[in-house]
């Protein structure tokens, strides 16, 4: 019975020695590798914290990276748990080995095969740890690259902000210029409205002054911002002559009172004839001469009013080249033989605004 007990004890001792025969150097290397892994983990935590601060504005893009880092931390935690388990086993086996080494040296040879198997497992564990260390290095390198990319994106964002600021400044200048132009346009429109109202008022004054002549071949029209006083030939002249009849002189003298009061109006007198060739006599050679002579005759009658400044008047002859009616009938020719007094408001204020711009 004692012999069986001794044999059992020896068998248990051999098993313990088998599990405790891992060389100290290998466990020390394993501990050092574990410490380096822990240091790398701490370094990765620091890098991750720095990157988190730098990438606040792009948090949405970093969420995926954070998940990867978290996954890596979980894997590292699992590795640490495994290392703690291995270290606990190592301490237990080392205690047994110290206690039984002196008594069971001869029995070590019997467990060499099992020891080789343990070495193979430890070698595999070392390779696993090395692979995990490489994976951690890759994750660290990836995080460094991401940080560099974020720095680059930040620089690009700053450049775009500067461009946007410049564009905003340009837009403000454009808006200011547009506002100035709008004010100028409003000012021009106001002046034009005033001029249009003045022209209408002038047309009313002229119509009132010449009211008794409208059925004698005289018309007053407001078009294109001007007042046109048109007098047929029968009201002013005999056919082929440029001496003004008494009735026509009366009409012109009534008109000149209105013109003298309207000092901001320029006056153009245009003579018109029909297309029938003029048979020259005296100082009149053709329709051109006749149209000009009639215009200058009207100017001289208007200037009998000494209040009317001569520099406001201009005489022009248009011969037959601006007809009212192009038909070759006696009625059309009668319409075309006319004298027009064109009243144009001065646009000095408007021209001054345009010159300033």
Instruction: Please report, for the chain, the start and end positions of each structural domain, with discontinuous segments joined by +.
Output: 2-162, 197-356
Residues 26-83: pLDDT tens digits?
778 888 888 888 888 888 888 888 888 888 888 887 788 888 878 888 888 888 888 8
Query: Cα-atom radius of gyration of the chain, to the nearest Å?
Result: 58
CATH T-level topology, domain 197-356: 60s Ribosomal Protein L30; Chain: A; (3.30.1330)
- Is-contact 248 216, C-beta < 8 A? no
For strand 338-345 and strand 218-223, is the pairing parallel, antiparallel, or unpaired? unpaired
3: left (phi over 0), alpha (psi -120 to 50) or beta: alpha
The SS3 call for residue 95 is: helix
pLDDT at position 350, please?
47
Which residue ranges of the chain lie beneath pLDDT 70?
A: 1-23, 108, 111, 181, 183-185, 187-188, 280, 347-357
Question: Which segments of 211-327 are extended strands (E)?
Answer: 218-223, 226-232, 265-272, 313-317
At residue 4, the pLDDT reads 65
CB contact at 8 A, 244 and 234: no
DSSP β-bridge partners for residue 313:
267
Q: Among candidates 9, 12, 356, 5, which has minimal Cα distance to 184?
A: 356
Beta bridge partners of 341: 229, 269
Phi-psi category of 217—alpha, beta or left, where left has phi over 0 and alpha has psi -120 to 50? Answer: left
pTM > 0.75: no
Instruction: Kindly state the tokens that stand for 147.
Output: 């940080």
Distances (CA, A) of 155 to 49, 160, 169, 301: 21, 9, 21, 83
């Amino acid at each position: 019975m004692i012999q069986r007990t001794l044999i059992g004890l020896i068998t248990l001792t051999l098993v313990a020695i088998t599990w405790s025969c891992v060389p100290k150097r290998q466990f020390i290397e394993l501990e050092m590798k574990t410490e380096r892994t822990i240091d790398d983990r701490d370094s990765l935590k620091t890098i991750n914290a720095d990157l988190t601060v730098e990438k606040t504005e792009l948090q949405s893009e970093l969420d995926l990276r954070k998940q990867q880092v978290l996954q890596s931390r979980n894997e590292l935690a699992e590795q640490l748990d495994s290392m703690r388990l291995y270290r606990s086993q190592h301490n237990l086996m080392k205690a047994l080995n110290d206690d039984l080494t002196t008594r069971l040296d001869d029995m070590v040879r019997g467990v060499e095969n099992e020891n080789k198997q343990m070495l193979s497992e430890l070698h595999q564990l070392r390779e696993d740890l090395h692979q995990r260390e490489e994976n951690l290095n890759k994750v660290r390198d990836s995080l460094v690259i991401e940080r560099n990319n974020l720095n680059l994106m930040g620089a690009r964002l700053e450049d775009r902000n500067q461009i946007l600021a410049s564009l905003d400044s340009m837009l403000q200048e454009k808006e200011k210029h547009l506002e100035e132009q709008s004010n100028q346009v409003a000012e021009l429109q106001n002046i034009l409205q005033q001029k249009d109202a003045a022209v209408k008022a002038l047309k009313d004054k002229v119509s009132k002054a010449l009211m008794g002549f409208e059925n004698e071949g005289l018309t007053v029209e407001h078009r294109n911002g001007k007042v046109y006083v048109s007098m047929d030939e029968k009201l002013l002249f005999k056919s082929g002559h440029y001496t003004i009849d008494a009735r026509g002189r009366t009409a012109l003298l009534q008109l000149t009172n209105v013109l003298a009061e309207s000092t901001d109006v320029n006056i153009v007198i245009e003579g018109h004839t029909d297309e029938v060739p003029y048979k020259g006599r005296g100082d009149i050679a053709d329709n051109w001469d006749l149209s000009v002579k009639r215009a200058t005759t009207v100017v001289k009658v208007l200037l009998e009013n000494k209040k009317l400044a001569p520099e406001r008047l201009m005489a022009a002859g248009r011969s037959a080249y601006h007809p009212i009616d192009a038909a070759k009938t006696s009625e059309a020719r009668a319409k075309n033989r006319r004298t027009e007094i064109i009243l144009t408001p001065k646009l000095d204020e408007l021209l001054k605004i345009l010159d300033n711009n």
